[in-house]
Amino acid sequence: MSQQLTEEFPDQKKRQKDFTCSIGFAMTVIGSKWRAIILWHIIKSQPIRYGELKKAVPNISHKVLAQELKKLESDGLIDRIAYATIPPKVEYISTERGTTLAPILTELCIWGKKYINH
């Protein structure tokens, strides 16, 4: 299992050794303040352009959004598609690996809606 995780998530190799629990490892991939939210919007609205994503997550700064998108891409959860047009056009889509998180993110969304006012 350890070798498989390293092959699927090459950037995770150094973080992987810190975890004996798979939940801890999973949280390093999607557990930042914004990463799961960004991935959720990409999955449900793909393809999505940067500006649309920024509107969907209005409280995030441009700097943090760009950093999180790069991290999601390096972890193999999203693909960035750049078109050679003027003005430049970039779209984001979820990879097959990223899409496997859809049921988990959906359940988190349902849970959040249920308990947000308690």
Cis peptide bond N-terminal to 87, omega within 30 = yes
Question: Residue 118 has what pLDDT?
Answer: 78
The residue among 116, 90, 111 whose CA lies nearest residue 40 is 111
Amino acid at 72: L
Residues 12 and 75: beta-carbon distance below 8 Å: yes
Domain segments of the chain: what residues?
1-30, 33-115
What distance in Å separates the CA atoms of residue 59 and residue 67, rounded to the nearest whole number? 15
Q: If pLDDT is split at 50, 70 and 90, which confidence band does 70 have? A: very high
Question: Residue 2 has what pLDDT?
Answer: 46
Query: H/E element holding 89?
Result: strand 89-94
What distance in Å separates the CA atoms of residue 69 and residue 37, rounded to the nearest whole number? 11
| Residues 103-110, mean pLDDT to the nearest whole number | 91
Does domain 33-115 bear CATH number 1.10.10.10?
yes
Summarize pLDDT for 17-68 with one digit per residue, the tens: 666 778 877 888 887 889 999 999 999 999 999 999 999 999 999 999 999 9
